[in-house]
Amino acid sequence: MFLHQLNPIEAEAFLTLASEMIEDDGVITPEEDALLNEYKTALGLPAFTYDAAAAAAARDTLAQLNESGKRKVYMELFSFAVCDGFEDVTERRTLNSLREVLNLDAHICRMLESCVRDLYGVYAAIERALEAKPSPVVVDFDA
């Protein structure tokens, strides 16, 4: 997570938009719920509850961040859009709207999205390696 610099109000704004993102497609998957809980804990707001009416204020709050902070917020919110394995069209609309509110360059946002996808790919490769069956070929590294 790249959001360590957020103050409590900004962290709550982020969690509001993250909650909005996972509810956009009408289905909250276990992966999305687990990710939201991880962020609540990491941001020091484990008792956070989503209030849909606060979404506009959350966008305004996050629009006040510096450029680096805005990019980090966008990247982290994109991770919520794809953590369930797919990006719904409503999630894309939300991301596009957020990009406009945060006044972010579309090319930079695509680069950040690519990084998140690559990161999820690395995590998947690690999981495959951790669960792999031992090779029938014995290699002697000391020889």
User: What CATH number is attached to the domain comprising 43?
Assistant: 1.10.3680.10
pLDDT at 18: 92
Predicted model pTM: 0.84
Sequence-ordered list of residues with C-beta below 8 angstroms from that of 15, at least 6 positions apart, any chain: 36, 39, 40, 43, 45, 48, 50
Q: What is the pLDDT of residue 28?
A: 82
Q: What's the domain count of the chain?
A: 1
Residue 142 included in any domain: no
Nearest in space to 71 (alpha carbons), one of 40, 102, 93, 117 = 102
The pLDDT value given to residue 117: 92
Instruction: Tell whether 136 is covered by a domain.
Output: no
Domain of 58? 8-131
Instruction: Point out the residues of the chain with pLDDT beneath 70.
Output: 1, 143
Query: Is residue 80 a part of any domain in this protein?
Result: yes
Structural domain contains residue 123? yes
